[in-house]
Structure 1
Amino acid sequence: MLRDKHNLVDDFPEYQERIQTLKQTDESFRNLAREYHEVEHQVRGLEMQSVPTTDEHYEALKMKRVQLKDAIFNQLSKGMT
């Protein structure tokens, strides 16, 4: 089942500039963003190409994506209030 693409700029358009800045200046954010992109790529690959996998593996990847997105949002919103 094909879902919308989940890239950070599309999901957090209000943080577009901050995403770019943190990718350039914050190694931990850059690593989180890179890992998120890799997991998103794996999930999209499974969805688009109907690659055989177990439900457990697919759900684990989606859960990892959610956890990474939460961690990224926490860093994006830190100090922005």
Structure 2
Amino acid sequence: MLGEKHSLLNEFPEFNELIHNLAKSDAHFKNTMQRYDDMDKEIRELELNSSPIDDSEMHEKKHQRAALKDELYDFLKAKA
């Protein structure tokens, strides 16, 4: 869905408390989450502005976002 928010809190509601705690206490998690949020915001803005980049570039950005999300999910699962 175009323009849909993919924040970690939306994607993983079962980890809301852990996400908040790790964002305050773990620098690596916080930095990775910030990169993920920045990438998500960039993709959402491109989608809402009729994607002024080519499809392959958009696909690569979404792939990078998915890789960050996988890394964060693995981290959350390990800490839960």
Query: TM-score band (shorter)?
Result: over 0.9
Please list every run of at least 4 consecutive aligned residues from structure 1 whose deviation after the TM superposition is greater than 6 angstroms: none
Aligned to 2:10: 10
Q: Secondary structure at the match of 1:74?
A: helix
* Whole-Å separation in 2 of the counterparts to 1:58 and 1:39: 11
Q: Which runs of 5+ in 2 are unaligned?
A: none
Q: Does the aligned pair in 1 maintain the 2:3–2:45 contact within 8 Å?
A: no
Q: Note the aligned Cα RMSD (angstroms).
A: 1.2
TM-score scaled by length of structure 2: 0.93
User: Counterparts of 1:40 and 1:79 in 2: how far apart (Å)?
Assistant: 23
Output the CA distance in 1 between the equivalents of 2:9 and 2:53: 29
Q: How many residue pairs align between the two structures?
A: 80
Partner Cα distance (1:79, 1:19) in 2:
10
Gaps in structure 1 of 5+ consecutive residues: none
CA distances 1:2-31 after superposition (whole Å, capped 9, x unpaired): 142101101100000000000000000001
